[in-house]
Amino acid sequence: MPFEFIETKIKGVILVKPKVFGDERGFFMETYKKSDFKNSGIDNEFFQDNHSKSSKGVLRGLHFQKYPKEQGKLVRCINGKIYDVAVDIRAGSPTFGHWVAYELSEENKLMLWIPQGFAHAFLTLSENAEILYKVSGSEYSPECDSGIIWNDPHLNIKWPLKEYGIDKPKISEKDNMLKTFKEVLG
């Protein structure tokens, strides 16, 4: 199997390590294979692929789509390095309000599967980073678009700002207007 699927401390969020075949010419790897993903429990139909580029210190999120247009995301960083965060927003989940984070980079080639029922954000750690992600569940729906403020005190996400020489993250006006976890989800 060209992938290793690694369970995280939050059920459903899976770190995916692809098998990379490299030599002096470069490398080859599969980034998605329906049968392998299905056998590992990720049996989702993907509806949309997204590509974003961000400069160092850009923080995007915490984003999610509300019912009935929830989305799952398979995230990978193809250039640079990001700190990728998933927050459990599934009502009734034993890990409701908990988060996990991983560094995804062009070097480690790790991917993070974030299922429906999670908010997602990332912080760019390198000078620039490009992120590709496959989206399941639904296409983007402006009327279901929602989010939580990145520095929510209840979630207390440990963003590695100082470790990467980032004084203050660069946040969009829209993301700066997001409400707290408790305001959004009770």
Question: Is 133 labeled as catalytic in the residue annotation?
Answer: yes
Residue-range definition of the domain harbouring residue 130: 45-185
Whether 85 and 122 have beta carbons less than 8 Å apart is answered as yes
Average pLDDT of 159-179? 97
Does 174 reside within a domain?
A: yes
- The active-site residue, picked from 32, 83, 133, 164, is 133
**Which of the 8 DSSP states describes residue 169?**
-
Average pLDDT of 152-166? 98
SS3 annotation, 40-97: CCCCCCEEEEEEEEEECCEEEEEEEECCCCCCEEEEEEEECEEEEEEEECCCCCCCCC
Does 52 reside within a domain?
A: yes
pTM of the model: 0.95
Our count of domains for the chain comes to: 1
Strand, coil or helix: what is 142? helix
Does 5 reside within a domain?
A: no
Does 90 reside within a domain?
A: yes
> What per-residue confidence (pLDDT) applies to 30?
94
- 77-132 tens-digit pLDDT: 999 999 999 999 999 999 999 999 999 999 999 999 999 999 999 999 999 999 99
Count Cβ atoms below 10 Å from residue 148 Cβ, excluding itself.
26
Tokens of 180: 């707290």
CA–CA gap between residue 126 and residue 162 (Å, rounded): 13
CATH number, residue 133? 2.60.120.10
Per-residue pLDDT band for 1 (boundaries 50, 70, 90) equals: low
> What per-residue confidence (pLDDT) applies to 2?
85
- What is the chain's alpha carbon radius of gyration, rounded to the nearest angstrom? 16
Average pLDDT of 151-161? 98
- The active-site residue, picked from 63, 83, 102, 120, is 63
Residue with tokens 């992600």: 133
Question: Is 120 labeled as catalytic in the residue annotation?
Answer: no
Does 51 reside within a domain?
A: yes
Does 27 reside within a domain?
A: no
Does 170 reside within a domain?
A: yes
Does 142 reside within a domain?
A: yes
- 45-69 tens-digit pLDDT: 999 999 999 999 999 999 999 999 9
> What per-residue confidence (pLDDT) applies to 186?
79
> What per-residue confidence (pLDDT) applies to 36?
96
